[in-house]
Amino acid sequence: MTPSSTSSSEISAGGAPQPPRTFAGGFLSRVVLFFAIVLVISLGVSRGAGLAYRPRPLAPSRDLIASCDHFVALFGNSQFEAAIDSQGLAATLEKPTASVRAQMFTGGGWHALHYYMLALLARDGLRRNRDAVVIEVSPTSLNDADQRPVNVRPEVARQVAGVPGIPVEMQLDVLFGALSPLYRYRLSLRAAVGTALVAPLNRSTSVLEALGLVGVPQLVPQFSVVTAPGRNFVIQDVLGDRSAFRRVAREKAAESLGRMRIGGFKMAALELAVRALREREIAVVLVVTPTAGWFEDLVPKGSSVVIRNRLGQLAKSTGATLLFRWPDALHDDSRFWDGHHMLATATQGFTDELARQLRQVLSW
């Protein structure tokens, strides 16, 4: 007898052949469950890291604001932080009949998207017709071609991600950062871990060299940058060959400013920030921080014209103030480390001049 080509497992009770059983549905459900578990664990670990990490405040506390007659918030990047002594500025603006406090909110490489975030976080706490926000508006902070990582707090991520013209990759950066604190604070956490590892690694260098796991460095760096204690974005000193440092800084500036694009999503973010504050009748002052003459010359003339026109239009339409004219002495190259980050000895001079001009435009 020739055996049947259909196995008994493929024949139903009625004798009709049935298709072979597959496990596609079961496999798919297992895959979905696996990735769901991985996602939950990842978000859980990220949330835990975010809770353990204590980020610096990005808005003034209500107690600090309430402790004075007028409060000044300063939004900017590293060159703004290096240029202004916030406590000295407040002291200079103070009057016998009106106390003034100031606080700076800045970051390395921060730009207009960050300033929009800061405006959204601070606007509800600031008081109408009593407080002011000073915003840095240098070409570097408005350059659409320089797309650095964005560190945006979850409570304002939707608004920041919705800035007109913002690139998709930056939208994803903002939104994923809102979900994952570990991702949002990745640069800060990496820096903290790296700093903690430096000392034990240095102590183990000789042992690692003896085991042949690491080699002796063949090249000694020409220079190293020392930042001010507690101010990670302010240069305190440059050790080694300072001429090499300046040469490298000039090359980087030329490369960055040479591919400048102005008038897109970062300008839109700045406009949204100013309007959000002015809607609450909070005084806004836009400040073009002075830089060395050679640094200014690297900014394409067309970009300079667009920036000045757009900022002028923004100030006129919102009632904000634009400050960009400074004494020639404040542009001297000897006042800067690298053409745009001021020396500590230059900070007081600019702070005094900024306070003088602020006194003329703030109706306090």
The per-residue pLDDT for range 344-363, each reduced to its tens digit, is 999 999 999 999 999 999 98
**The pLDDT of residue 20:** 59
Q: Which residue do the tokens 């290096």 mark? A: 82
The residue-averaged pLDDT of 127-138 equals 96
- Strands in 321-323's sheet, in edge-to-edge order, are 100-107, 70-77, 132-136, 283-287, 321-323
Q: What is the pLDDT of residues 303-329, one digit of tens each?
A: 999 999 999 999 999 999 999 999 999
Q: If you average pLDDT over every residue of the chain, what do you get?
A: 88
pLDDT: is 155 or 16 the higher one?
155
pLDDT at 18 exceeding the cut of 90: no
Residue 139's identity, in one-letter code, is: P
pLDDT of residue 26: 75
DSSP 95-128: BTTB-EEEEEEEETT--HHHHHHHHHHHTTTSPT
Give domain limits for the chain: 62-145+243-361
Distance of CA 204 to the CA centre of its chain: 35
What radius of gyration do the chain's Cα atoms show? 28
Looking at per-residue pLDDT, the higher value among 275 and 148 belongs to 275
The CATH number of domain 62-145+243-361 is 3.40.50.150: no
- Angle made by CA atoms 303, 122, 355, in degrees to the nearest 5: 65
More confident residue, 213 or 146: 146
> What is the pLDDT, as a whole number, of residue 206?
74
| Model confidence band, residue 9 (pLDDT cutoffs 50, 70, 90) | very low
Task: Give the pLDDT of residue 250.
Answer: 94
Report the relative pairing of strands 223-228 and 231-240 from DSSP bridges. antiparallel
pLDDT of the residue at 201: 72
Confidence of residue 50 (pLDDT cuts 50, 70, 90): low
pLDDT of 23 reads 52
At 161, the pLDDT band (50, 70, 90 cuts) reads very high
- For 233, how many CA atoms within 13 A lie in the half-sphere containing its CB? 18
Residue corresponding to tokens 């060299």? 209
List the beta strands (DSSP E) in the chain: 70-77, 100-107, 132-136, 223-228, 231-240, 283-287, 321-323
